[in-house]
Amino acid sequence: MDREYFQFYDGDKMGIKTIEDEVIIPAVYDFIEPFSGGLFNVTQAGTHAYFDSNGKIVLPFQNKYESYGNFTEGLARVRINEKWGYIDKTGQEIIKPQFHFAEEFSNDIAIVRNSEDKHGALDKTGKLIIDYQFRILLKFENGYAKFGDYKTYGLIDKSGKIVVPQEYTHIGLIENNKVKVQIKEGEKYKEGILTIGGSVEWNNNLDKVNEFNLKRKQFISMSEQLIQTMYSEGCPCEYQRFRNYIQWDKPVSFLDQQEIFYIFSKHLEKDGDNSFKCKSCGTTYLQNWEEYSIALQVINVKITKTGNFTEKGAKVQSVIPVTLGFHGYNLDKLKKTYKQTDNETVINYLKEKPDTNSSLPKAWRSWLQKLFDNS
């Protein structure tokens, strides 16, 4: 069973331990890459060396190259004079630095890029076995590599032959000659399992995604109309519920708030770094993107200066409606304050004006409102 290693620090210096707390490399070095290809890539004062799993130096510290990569399949990338090549574990230059960029070897093949940003592939002798022709070409896995143009993707085999056409918006990992694919048809996405050389077995896994995307699109359109209406009568800042809705300072992504503030910010003028000011009333908003994890970025907004306006909107309710919802952690804490509902309920909540007939019975207020609406 392979041993597990992890990096540890002593002050600002790094070392390597096993999961059993055995020190393999003492914490006296500037940086150590994770274990790869049987070796640790160690950096110290601008020089590089490679250590084995016992902490012994295999390749001594040197600075012949500007950059040293990790070993994979017996070779490591190196860069000099802005050109990339490969060395072996003795430090011998196996493939002369000549590429605009080069990836690590995988399946005995490395992806390389020329000065025209076209990608090809080479073998371990340095022979270009797939010509420069692809805008995107990812590393080979299980005998195949994904190619594409950031919009659609396909697959090639080791000879460069296209085995899956470039028509899918997503292609997953290949296992047992099968791969998960997604395709866009109109405004909807479909997902299925493609057998390489065969057909796709489609499923309904993305039905909820399609429903959400449609709901989001409709919400954006309705929010744009709402903000336009508010500006035709003054500005959105005059509505207490609107101001409350777009202000956010929690480590949770509030999707409704993000969409509305993005639309609203288009009507504001820049007032310094991350600061926006309403042209109508002068209210100033500070926007900050906070990154809580790789998968969680939150837009936090707060009012830093209240402008000159007359309050038009109704008071904030104790339970606030949401439609797109939240993304993040500990979402249960929000259930007391926010209630999942639909687009129309959120828009109506934001635009609702104060009830000037609150002393009348509810049925009378409803009748008066209908009479007013029909007048």
- On whether residue 345 sits in a domain, the answer given is yes
Count of structural domains within the chain:
1
Domain boundaries, position 270: 230-374
Residue 303's H or E segment, with its range, is strand 296-305
pLDDT band at 370 (very low <50, low <70, confident <90, very high): low
Q: In this predicted structure, what is the pLDDT of residue 355? A: 59
- On whether residue 93 sits in a domain, the answer given is no
- On whether residue 361 sits in a domain, the answer given is yes
Residue 294 has pLDDT above 80, yes or no: no
The answer to whether 191 and 203 have CB atoms below 8 angstroms apart is yes
- On whether residue 164 sits in a domain, the answer given is no
What is the per-residue pLDDT across 132-183, written as a single tens digit (0 to 9) for each?
Answer: 999 999 999 999 999 999 999 999 999 999 999 999 999 999 999 999 999 9
Backbone angles phi, psi at 350, to 5 degrees: -70, -35
- On whether residue 25 sits in a domain, the answer given is no
| Token digits of residue 173 | 């990992």
- On whether residue 139 sits in a domain, the answer given is no
* For residues 45-52, average pLDDT: 96
What is the per-residue pLDDT across 120-134, written as a single tens digit (0 to 9) for each?
Answer: 999 999 999 999 999
Please, how many CA atoms are within 13 Å of residue 91, restricted to the half-sphere of its CB?
Answer: 13
Residue 253's H or E segment, with its range, is strand 252-254
What is the per-residue pLDDT across 73-89, written as a single tens digit (0 to 9) for each?
Answer: 999 999 999 999 999 99
The answer to whether 146 and 171 have CB atoms below 8 angstroms apart is yes
What is the per-residue pLDDT across 88-143, written as a single tens digit (0 to 9) for each?
Answer: 999 999 999 999 999 999 999 999 999 999 999 999 999 999 999 999 999 999 99
- On whether residue 324 sits in a domain, the answer given is yes
- On whether residue 279 sits in a domain, the answer given is yes
**How far is Cα 67 from Cα 58, in angstroms, rounded to an integer?**
18
